[in-house]
Amino acid sequence: MTGTEGTWVVETIDGAVVRLRSGRIGLMNIDVTAPVSGGELHITADAVHMTLRLALDELRTGNFLMQAAARSIVSRNNAHVLSYVGEGKAAPLPWHVVGQAKAGSVDVELGLDVTPVGPPTEPMAEIELKGSASMGTVHLPLPGLGTVDDFAFDVDGRFALRVKAV
């Protein structure tokens, strides 16, 4: 994939989501999806630059109590939109970008592996993201959980790209 240069825009159509998943905390896992509200992937001969925005105020879970707790954390931290800016080398795949994910009072370093997964004729039509981060101590508004000392989560997503119009 070396030699791929250009700028692509993240398609924000239905289904463009990023999944955030924690390991077991007490008796449960945290598993939420947040819709992608925008972003760009810019590749030069030497570097990869990625921006991504998630609508955290529209996150979803499969559990009503967990969804209420997650939205409470979003509101309490004024974290309605998560903005990510990451950079890395345009080395062999997957590209690894590292940057800051910021939402309200939350600021976390996040490393992501970015892999083109589109069809052979247009590999940059779709990308896959995978990564993980640790937030340290987090207070969860759920009975029996309270404070989690080392809250870590995995990130994954897959969504369409389109070439940015010049």
- Taking residue 142's Cβ as centre, other Cβ atoms within 10 Å add up to 18
Tokens coding 101: 């994910």
pLDDT at 2 over 50: no
Q: Which segment, 6-20, 89-103, 135-149, is predicted with the most confidence on average?
A: 89-103
pLDDT at 39 over 90: yes
- Taking residue 73's Cβ as centre, other Cβ atoms within 10 Å add up to 19
CA–chain centroid gap for 87, Å, is 14
Q: Which amino acid appears at position 155 of this protein?
A: V
pTM of the model as a whole: 0.81
Q: Which amino acid appears at position 32 of this protein?
A: V
- Residues 6 and 47: their CA atoms lie apart, in Å, by 11
- Residues 71 and 76: their CA atoms lie apart, in Å, by 8
Residue 107, pLDDT score: 84
The pLDDT tens digits for 46-74 are: 999 999 998 888 888 877 777 777 777 77
Tokens coding 93: 């795949």
The pLDDT tens digits for 83-138 are: 999 999 998 899 999 999 988 877 889 999 999 999 999 999 999 999 988 766 66
CATH class of 6-163: mainly beta
Q: Which long-range contacts (CB under 8 A, 24 or more apart) does 119-123 make?
A: 123/1, 123/4
pLDDT at 17 over 60: yes
State the virtual CA torsion across 16, 55, 40, 15 in degrees, nearest 10.
0
